[in-house]
Structure formats: structure tokens, C-alpha cells
Amino acid sequence: MSSVPVAVVTGSNKGIGFAIVRALCKQFPGDVYLTARDPGRGQEAVAKLQEEGLRALFHQLDIDDPQSIRVLRDFLKEKYGGLNVLVNNAGIAFKVHDTTPFAVQAEVTLKTNFFGTRNVCTELLPLVKPYGRVVNVSSMVSSSALGGCSRELQQKFRSDTITEDELVELMTKFVEDTKKGVHEKEGWPNTAYGVSKIGVTVLSRIQARMLNEKRKGDHILLNACCPGWVRTDMAGPKATKSPDEGAETPVYLALLPSDADGPHGQFLSNKTVRTW
């Protein structure tokens, strides 16, 4: 078993994830795994970094596929006995003018951004070693979407006692409400991406709380963040930040020094804790 520290970034064949891997290759003292659902796109990305003189390793990971997650889990367990840094970056968004019915957009978006991210965490968080760092890439849109929720929903999403099961129930209810055409009546905002990212931010708050309760002495720091508005296939060419700039906050959180006791369980943008 290797004692080399190991970092894993989901959805990193392009965009912000790719830039996070690039930065980690330069700054993380260990093996950095670029992961992608498509091995061809993943290997191509690794080759691109190699041309820059950077060494990333590749492992397949489709966060929508529980078997793919388990294969990565077993690989990390066997080869490294766990992992040190996990960046949950993979995500999707329908374009604003996409005419796919809203209920379909809701189901597909929640499937990857919330349920896929959660499934990765369920399998990989128990493997995170003491002093490990976990970064869940959410979005400022989670904050604006929270503001668009009913008072009752806002209270639930801001609660310091909400459980992961209760959150899963709420995310499932959103998808069901869109299918019944009652999501607005039920207090939800009109954004599937926004609700999926509320899920990611609230999940991070819950996971941090659980770490405090169950693994206090392990000094693991887990946070959610927004990378900013970044020029990628998702956000388009008019966005204000380059992918390398978008990687700055996630990388800052992934590399928090071992003597840091925070931030933990927070939502950050531009390396600054934001009020939830």
C-alpha cells in the first residue's frame, strides 16, 4: 500500500475541475487523480497536462453510476488505504433557453448535482484520512435560490439540526412536485440548478456537523464553495473568470494547512465565508 498522499477531483476532464487538477499538480504533495465519466476525454485531459509538464493520474468516475463510484472507492482503499483530498466538482446545468420540460430538467439536474455528489460522499467520506480536506463545489445560485424558497423551506435549509435523510426527502419532493406541476405552490423557486445546489450546500453543512460528532479528533475540514462565474462550457464565454481563477477558492479549501481549524462546514466564495 502506498503512503503517498492522494487527491481526487470529480468531473475534471474540462472546465473548473481540470483547472483544479492543474493547480493541485503544482501544489499538492502527492498523487492527483483527474477523473472523468468518459475514459477517452479523461486520458486526453491527462495528456494535455503532461504537455504542460504536469503529472496527473487518471481514474474513471461517473458520479451517476454507483458501481463506478464503488470501483474508485475500492481502488483508493487498496492502493492508498484511503484519500486525503476530495473535490466534488462534477455538475451539470441546462442552458437557460433549453426547452426540455422543467420536470425533466429537475430530475436530471438533481440526479447528478445532488444525488450523484451525495453518493460519492457516502462511499468516499469514510475513507478520508485524518487532516483530510473535502470541497463540494456548489454555487452562489444556491444562495439566491434559497432566497426564492418559501419561509418554511428556508427555515429547513438553514436549520442546524436537519438530517441527511430529511434533506434527501426534500430534494426528492422537489422533483416530484415539478412532475405534478405544483413546485411553485409548494414554495420552491423556479430553478432546478439552484435547488440542486441548495442541496449541495446544505449537504456540506450536515456532513461537517457529522464529522464534528463522529470524527472530532481527525481534524478533517469540509466546506462548500462557489468558484465564481467562470468561462467554461457550462457558463459560456462571457463569464468573468478564467478556469484557473475559478479554481482558486476550491484549491484554497483543498489545501488548507494541517494546523488550520477552519473554515469548516461553511459556504465560501472568493475565499471568504458567506452567510447562509
DSSP strands (E only) in the chain: 6-9, 31-36, 57-60, 83-88, 128-137, 221-226, 267-269, 272-274
Q: CA-CA distances (angstroms) from residue 94 to 66, 109, 191?
A: 23, 8, 10
- In the complex with ligand NAP, the residue whose CB is nearer, 38 or 184, is 38
Which residue in 16, 72, 121, 134 binds ligand NAP (CB under 6 A)? 16
In sequence order, the 6+-apart residues with CB closer than 8 A to the CB of 12 are 18, 20, 21, 34, 35, 36, 45, 87, 89, 90
d(CA 143, CA 145): 5
Draw the binding track, 110-129, toward ligand NAP (x: CB under 6 A; -: no contact). Answer: --x---x-------------
Q: Are 77 and 128 in contact (CB under 8 A)?
A: no
- In the complex with ligand NAP, the residue whose CB is nearer, 67 or 161, is 67
Is residue 98 a contact point for ligand NAP (CB under 6 A)? no
Is residue 64 a contact point for ligand NAP (CB under 6 A)? yes
At 98, phi and psi to the nearest 5? -60, 135
Which residue in 232, 247, 252, 264 binds ligand NAP (CB under 6 A)? 232
Is residue 7 a contact point for ligand NAP (CB under 6 A)? no
Which residue in 84, 105, 109, 139 binds ligand NAP (CB under 6 A)? 139
Is residue 226 a contact point for ligand NAP (CB under 6 A)? yes
Verify whether residue 131 is a known catalytic residue.
no
For ligand NAP, the binding residues in 23-42 under the rule CB under 6 A are 36-38, 41
Which residue in 21, 31, 34, 89 binds ligand NAP (CB under 6 A)? 89
d(CA 29, CA 1): 17
Buried b (16+ CB within 10 A) or exposed e, 76-91: bbeebebbbbbbbbbb
Is residue 199 a contact point for ligand NAP (CB under 6 A)? no
- In the complex with ligand NAP, the residue whose CB is nearer, 119 or 150, is 119
Residue bearing cell 462571457: 238
- In the complex with ligand NAP, the residue whose CB is nearer, 5 or 116, is 116
Q: Are 230 and 273 in contact (CB under 8 A)?
A: no
Q: Which of 33, 80, 193, 252 is catalytic?
A: 193
Which residue in 239, 245, 255, 274 binds ligand NAP (CB under 6 A)? 239
Residues tagged active-site: 193
Q: Enumerate binding residues for ligand NAP (CB under 6 A).
A: 10-11, 13-17, 36-38, 41, 61-64, 89-93, 112, 116, 137, 139, 226-227, 229-230, 232-235, 239
